[in-house]
Amino acid sequence: MRVAVYGGSFNPPHVGHGMVVAWLLWTGRVDAVWIVPVFHHAFEGQQDKRLAPFAERLSWCRALAAQVDPAGDGRVQVLAVERDLPVPSFTIDTLCHLAARHPGVDLVPVVGADVVPQLPRWRRWAELRARFPPLVVGRTGHPVPEGAVLFPDVSSSEVRRRLLAGQPVDHMVPAGVLACIRQGDPTAWWGPLAR
């Protein structure tokens, strides 16, 4: 079984994330997708990584999964695994943990083209690349590696900025995720001046 491990902040998840999950399944790249929200980002405090609480982001990811996989056949799952791992969360540690618990499953980490320049700084990058070769998805506005599929440039940063400015985001965030977000207070998570 081939499983995409789609990790990230999901702060919040947006239509681009949903499109990637659907594309992975619809094109047969993988048999299943595990969405893994980061518990504590290794780069938090840098690169606009002030995160909403984990429970909120986990709920939003579940809403995203329900919209991508309305039949709930288990091909899209949301894992809270990083909550139980040492912090900060490092991708290699999460992948090794999952590999140990799911022997025989071929794990494929999914990364966006926007993070490709950071990959050499990732913990044990050479080992990760050799053991779990990542699948890179392209993103408008960023260099697209050869063979990567290009997705629209929708970012969680822009979603947060628009939410805090009182601007519409319904064209950027799946309806189920937006309903969950509206039950809370974005200024409590991201602050009135967050981007």
Q: What are 133-142's pLDDT values in tens digits?
A: 999 999 888 8
Q: Which pLDDT score is estimated for 26? A: 92
Q: Which two tokens stand for residue 78?
A: 């949301």
Q: Which two tokens stand for residue 34?
A: 């595990």
Selection from 131, 132, 147, 174 nearest residue 16 by Cα: 174
- Beta-carbon contacts of 23 under 8 Å, excluding residues fewer than 6 positions away, are 29, 137, 149, 151
Q: Which pLDDT score is estimated for 167? A: 93
Element (H, E) at 176: helix 175-182
Q: Which pLDDT score is estimated for 150? A: 85
On the question of pLDDT at 60 being above 70, the answer is yes
Q: Which pLDDT score is estimated for 49? A: 61
Q: Which pLDDT score is estimated for 188? A: 86
Domains of the chain: 2-188 (3.40.50.620)
CA dist 26 and 15 (Å) reads: 16
Residues 76-103 have a mean pLDDT of: 95
Q: Which is more confident, 138 or 76? A: 76
Rg (CA), the chain: 16
| 3-class DSSP assignment, residue 168 | coil
Q: Is the pTM of this model over 0.85?
A: yes
Decide: residue 40, CB within 10 A, 0-12 exposed, 13-18 middle, 19+ buried: middle
